[in-house]
Amino acid sequence: MKEVVIYTDGACSGNPGPGGWGAVLLAGPHRKELSGYEEQTTNQRMELKAIIEALKALKVSGWDITVYTDSAYVVNAFEQRWIDNWLKNGWQNSRKEPVANRDLWMELLQAMEKNRVHIKKVKGHAGHPLNERCDELARTQIKVHVQNSDGKV
C-alpha cells in the first residue's frame, strides 16, 4: 500500500470573513484529522488551505495521493488546465488579470511535488460522511475562534 486518500473542505462566515478548513487523511487503517482557522479570509482560500495543509502533513514521498474536494474552483483548475495556462501566462488569467490566490496556488503546487496527487470532485453537502466531517471540522474552527474573540457565534 502506497496510497493515501484525503478529503478536504473549507468554510467561511461571510466572504470574506472568519474561515476554517478541515481535512481527513486515510492510509490503510490509519486516520488523521486536521483543521485550522484564519481570521479574515475567503471560502476559496480555505478550500486551498485545506488541501495544502493535508499534503504538508504527509511524511511520505512517491505515493499516490487522491484528494477529494467539493470545490469546483480547485477541481476546475486541474481538470480544465487553468493551472497550466496560469503558469504559461506568468500567473495571469484568461482576462490578463493576476490570478487570485496565487500565493496559495504556488504553495499547493509545491506541496504536490513529492507525491502523485490526483484531485477529484465530491459533491458537497450531499451526505458523504467524510466530506461532511471535513465541513464540520472547518465550521467548528470558525465557531470556536469567533466565540472566543467576541462571545458571538
Q: Is 150 a known active-site residue?
A: no
Side by side, the strands of the sheet bearing 3-12 are 30-41, 17-27, 3-12, 64-69, 116-121
Considering 53, 70, 107, 145, which one is annotated as catalytic?
A: 70
- 103 is an active site residue: no
CA-based radius of gyration for the chain: 16
* Other Cβ atoms within 10 Å of 86 Cβ, number: 20
Based on the residue annotation, tell me whether 64 is a catalytic residue of this protein: no
Choosing from 36, 53, 135, 145, the catalytic residue is 135
Is 9 one of the catalytic residues?
Answer: yes
Q: Which of 73, 27, 84, 81 is nearest to 51 (CA)?
A: 73
Question: Which residues, at least 6 apart from 57, have a Cβ–Cβ distance to it below 8 Å?
Answer: 23, 25, 32, 34
Three-class HEC string of 82-107: HHHHHHHCCCECCCCCECCCHHHHHH
Q: Which of 38, 47, 53, 107 is catalytic?
A: 47
> Is position 47 annotated as part of the catalytic site?
yes
- Residue 70 annotated to the active site: yes
Q: What residues are labeled active site? A: 9-10, 47, 70, 125, 135
